[in-house]
């Protein structure tokens, strides 16, 4: 009788403990992903960590040379102190990567321990806005958000660092694209390594890894005419998605297309037409009034023609990219009055709206 009562009390006590501390596993469950799947990442002014506070080298690799996650798989754990609402924000951040790339955040629990060389612990820290170790390191590393910065966008930004994305305004060639108003702020440092943005990639003012407040307070002065927005405001940008798919070698489905600077001797260009006298036209894109606009590249003239406000504009020089398909993705140029559901992203407006490859008027 006594034994029976003891057992009952013990089980009841354990149940309460279970509900409080273990009910939420250290990974996002399928149910949690299902609950947020139809939600969009909200776009708005986003508070990011201050310069110098949010990406840190790992103690094991103080030089933090670029090191990518093996097989694009990132073993992770979740902070057990996350509330259900905070877990939703992390779920949205992870889902953003899963939707647009071949990168997969995989619960550490589901992996064989001996195969885990590295892992990221996704944490809440009330004393920081956001901070993460850069690139894959040996052993545990973290990506944190907290305080007033608990939003999907900040976690996407921090997980971008985990994946080896540096700050856009710190890439080596940034002086071609922005200047710093030293009356307002000190120039940000240059990243020691090109984590992701090899030279000659178009600069992305609306990258998730681009600080935004510094554009609005006059610290950054964009050199491209027409640029009024900085930072993505929350989601991955069109160019972020491309860079990640290139970094991690994603080729599945239609992820294998690549934009290459015209001066980098691109191959596998995507042909979109032919002039009456035989010159071939390829798909290209270039900046115009702050937008990155897909157009047609005339190889003979070395010009990229983009459409804007009902007119055609010729672009020349060092900042033209052409669409290539080196991985066998079947990119088919179609005439259509409706945007096909599988149209690929080709550019974006200054206002962060995606421009898909739908260029009937250019042919």
212 binds Zn ion (CB under 5 A): no
* Least distance in angstroms from the C-beta of 124 to Zn ion: 17
Q: Candidates 4-12, 22-30, 54-62, 277-285 — which segment interacts with Zn ion by CB under 5 A?
A: 54-62
Using the minimum distance from each CB to Zn ion, give the nearer residue, 32 or 191. 191
Q: How far apart are CA 27 and CA 108, in angstroms?
A: 8
Q: Which of residues 138-197 bind Zn ion (CB under 5 A)?
A: none
Q: Candidates 53-61, 212-220, 274-282, 306-314 — which segment interacts with Zn ion by CB under 5 A?
A: 53-61
Over the range 342-362, which residues count as b (16 or more CB within 10 Å of their CB) and which as e?
A: ebbbbbbbbebeebbbbbeeb
Query: Is 167 assigned a ligand-binding role in the annotation?
Result: yes
Q: Are 266 and 324 in contact (CB under 8 A)?
A: yes
Q: Is the dihedral of CA 339, 342, 344, 347 positive or negative?
A: positive
Which residues, listed in sequence order, are joined to residue 280 by a DSSP beta bridge?
274
Tally the C-alpha atoms within 13 A of residue 78's C-alpha that lie toward its C-beta: 26
Q: Are 141 and 133 in contact (CB under 8 A)?
A: yes
Q: Are 285 and 297 in contact (CB under 8 A)?
A: no
Q: Candidates 49-57, 62-70, 181-189, 294-302 — which segment interacts with Zn ion by CB under 5 A?
A: 49-57
Using the minimum distance from each CB to Zn ion, give the nearer residue, 154 or 281. 154
246 binds Zn ion (CB under 5 A): no
For the chain, the residue count is 363
Of 30, 32, 117, 158, which one is the catalytic site residue? 158
Please, what is the angle between helix 238-247 and helix 84-100, to 10°?
A: 70
* Least distance in angstroms from the C-beta of 129 to Zn ion: 10
Tell me, yes or no, if 275 is annotated catalytic.
no
Interface with Zn ion (CB under 5 A), residue from 32, 46, 54, 197: 54
Q: Are 144 and 131 in contact (CB under 8 A)?
A: yes
Q: How many helices (H) and strands (E) does the chain have?
A: 6, 17
Q: What mask, x for binding Zn ion by CB under 5 A, covers residues 82 to 121?
A: ----------------------------------------
Which residues are annotated binding-site positions for Zn(2+)?
157, 161, 167
Interface residue list for Zn ion (CB under 5 A): 54-55
What residues act catalytically?
Answer: 158
Which residues are annotated binding-site positions?
157, 161, 167
């Amino acid at each position: 009788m006594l034994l029976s009562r003891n057992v009952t009390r013990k089980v009841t006590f354990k149940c309460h403990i279970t509900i409080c501390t273990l009910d939420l596993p250290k990974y996002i469950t399928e149910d949690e992903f299902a609950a947020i799947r139809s939600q969009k990442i909200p776009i708005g002014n986003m508070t990011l960590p201050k310069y110098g506070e949010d990406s840190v080298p790992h103690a094991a690799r103080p030089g933090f040379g670029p090191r990518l996650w093996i097989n694009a798989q990132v073993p992770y754990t979740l902070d057990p102190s996350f509330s259900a609402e905070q877990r939703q924000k992390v779920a949205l951040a992870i889902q953003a990567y899963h939707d647009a790339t071949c990168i997969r955040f995989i619960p550490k629990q589901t992996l064989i321990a001996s195969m885990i060389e590295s892992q990221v612990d996704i944490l809440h820290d009330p004393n920081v806005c956001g901070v993460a170790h850069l690139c894959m390191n040996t052993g545990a590393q973290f990506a944190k958000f907290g305080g007033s910065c608990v939003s999907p966008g900040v976690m996407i930004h921090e997980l971008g660092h985990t994946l080896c994305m540096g700050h856009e305004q710190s890439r080596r060639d940034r002086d071609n694209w922005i200047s710093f108003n030293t009356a307002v702020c000190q120039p940000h440092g240059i990243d020691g390594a090109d984590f992701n943005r090899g030279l000659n990639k178009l600069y992305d003012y609306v990258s998730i890894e681009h600080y935004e407040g510094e554009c609005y307070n006059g610290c950054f002065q964009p050199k491209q005419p027409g640029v009024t927005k900085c930072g993505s405001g929350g989601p991955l940008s069109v160019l972020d998605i491309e860079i990640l798919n290139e970094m991690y070698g994603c080729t599945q489905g239609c992820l294998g297309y690549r934009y290459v600077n015209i001066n980098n001797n691109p191959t596998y260009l995507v042909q979109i037409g032919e002039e009456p006298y035989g010159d071939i036209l390829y798909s290209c894109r270039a900046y115009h009034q702050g937008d990155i606009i897909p157009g047609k590249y005339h190889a003979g003239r070395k010009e990229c023609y983009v459409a804007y406000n009902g007119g055609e504009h010729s672009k020349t020089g060092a900042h033209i990219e052409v669409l290539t398909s080196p991985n066998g993705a079947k990119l088919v140029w179609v005439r259509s009055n409706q945007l096909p559901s599988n149209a690929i992203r080709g550019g974006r407006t200054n206002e962060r709206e995606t421009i898909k490859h739908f260029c009937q008027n250019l042919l």
